[in-house]
């Protein structure tokens, strides 16, 4: 059997994220995961949340192949095969059949800081199109907050990201909220997570 892609960070944060998902999400529903990366989260969450159907995606074809390895190994009826999805595309997914029913949750971890800023608006607009009326968009990762001191670790991480690519960098939470509002979404919950990360829950504005 070929070696599956593996991220130590995804292995470390999957349990803390799951603990919050269990509090935030109802017992059953359908979830769309954006930028699934290695596929570890998809396999882990689908196994731990049997009432949820999980649809992993990624913009990178090589990543989709790795995710397919995780889904195949998991052998779970509620874990769908991955599809290629670029949030910047005007239609999700750009290839293959369109999604059918709207999703009860859209989950996106560690994408916004390693992608161009335009992906934030695209994520919010796509979530507004594909979420059920009572659905939620859940994002996870590091953020800069105007009224919260930034850890030295996140400051160094931000500098390293910007050195690697001029369009990367940790995003200001206030900027992310502004893009959400433009799409008709509002921040409903903010959960502090290990290693100076946040889990954010957005929902349609009342």
The per-residue pLDDT for range 115-140, each reduced to its tens digit, is: 999 999 999 999 999 999 999 999 99
Tell me, rounded to whole angstroms, the distance of Cα 12 from its chain centroid. Answer: 16
CA dist., res. 38 & res. 109, Å (int): 12
Q: Is the pLDDT of residue 98 over 90?
A: no
> Largest Cα–Cα distance in the chain?
49
The mean of the pLDDT values for the chain is: 96
| CATH superfamily placement of domain 31-204 | Vaccinia Virus protein VP39 (3.40.50.150)
Residue 34 has pLDDT above 70, yes or no: yes
C-alpha closest to that of 134 among 75, 203, 42: 203
Predicted confidence (pLDDT) per residue in 173-206, tens digit = 999 999 999 999 999 999 999 999 999 999 998 7
Pairing of strands 131-141, 143-144: unpaired
> Does pLDDT of 2 surpass 70?
no
73 vs 184: CA distance, rounded Å: 38
């Amino acid at each position: 059997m070929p070696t599956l892609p593996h991220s130590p960070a995804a292995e470390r944060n999957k349990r803390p994220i799951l603990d919050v998902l269990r509090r935030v999400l109802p017992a059953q529903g359908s979830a769309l995961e954006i930028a699934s990366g290695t596929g570890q989260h998809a396999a882990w969450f689908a196994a731990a949340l049997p009432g949820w159907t999980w649809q992993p995606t990624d913009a990178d074809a090589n990543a989709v192949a790795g995710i397919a390895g995780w889904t195949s190994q998991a052998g779970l009826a509620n874990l769908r095969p991955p599809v290629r999805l670029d949030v910047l595309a005007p239609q999700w997914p750009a290839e293959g059949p369109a999604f059918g029913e709207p999703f009860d949750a859209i989950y996106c971890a560690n994408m916004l800081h390693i992608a161009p800023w335009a992906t934030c608006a695209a994520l919010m607009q796509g979530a507004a199109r594909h979420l059920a009326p009572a659905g939620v968009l859940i994002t996870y990762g590091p953020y800069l907050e105007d009224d919260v001191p930034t850890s030295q670790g996140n400051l160094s991480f931000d500098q390293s990201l910007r050195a690697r690519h001029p369009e990367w960098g940790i995003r200001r939470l206030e900027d992310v909220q502004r893009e959400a509002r433009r799409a008709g979404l509002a921040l409903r919950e903010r959960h502090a997570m290990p290693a100076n990360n946040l889990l954010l829950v957005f929902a349609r504005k009342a």
